[in-house]
Amino acid sequence: MKIAVVSEDKVNVSEHLGGAPYFIVVNVEDGKVTGKEEREKPGHKEFASEEEHPLTDEKGHHGIGPQASERHKQMYEIIKDCEVLIAGRIGFGAYEDMTSFGLKVIATDVKTIDEAVSLYIEGKLEHQKDRVC
């Protein structure tokens, strides 16, 4: 199983999917971490020149609409071999898109990648719905 974790510094779980420059992909076999790799991911910085979009829709949701979905698809293509995506926070549109692509998405307040992955392996990492915005 492969778990993608969003990160800005390759050590901690990023507070936001869209702003982080990396996915840290953790390979897990038989309940143990067998490897890690970093993959660069596009984010707000790269997409900023493509369009101007409101940060939220009329319901306060972030990352909604066809252009946002296209950006999410580009991010997904980088981790399509993964089963799980872990982020500190994730916009509503990104959450909906990533789950529709088949990823199990977990938004969490756990700070480090190692702790988040360990808790996931143990079945103790809970998705915090209030961290989907």
Domain containing residue 86: 2-49+59-131
Alpha-carbon span 68 to 46, nearest angstrom: 13
Q: Is residue 21 part of a domain?
A: yes
Sign of CA dihedral 80, 85, 90, 92: positive
Q: Is residue 64 part of a domain?
A: yes
- State how many domains the chain has: 1
pTM: 0.87
Tell me the C-alpha distance between 84 and 92, whole Å: 17
User: Residue 33 maps to which CATH number?
Assistant: 3.30.420.130
Look at residue 117 and tell me if it is in a domain: yes
What pLDDT digit, counting tens, does each position of 84-116 carry? 999 999 999 999 999 999 999 999 999 999 999
Tokens of 21: 């420059």
Q: Is residue 19 part of a domain?
A: yes
Q: What is the pLDDT of residues 47-76, one digit of tens each?
A: 444 444 445 555 555 566 678 789 899 999
Domain assignment present for residue 54? The answer is no
In sequence order, the 6+-apart residues with CB closer than 8 A to the CB of 80 are: 101
**Residue 118 domain-assigned?**
yes
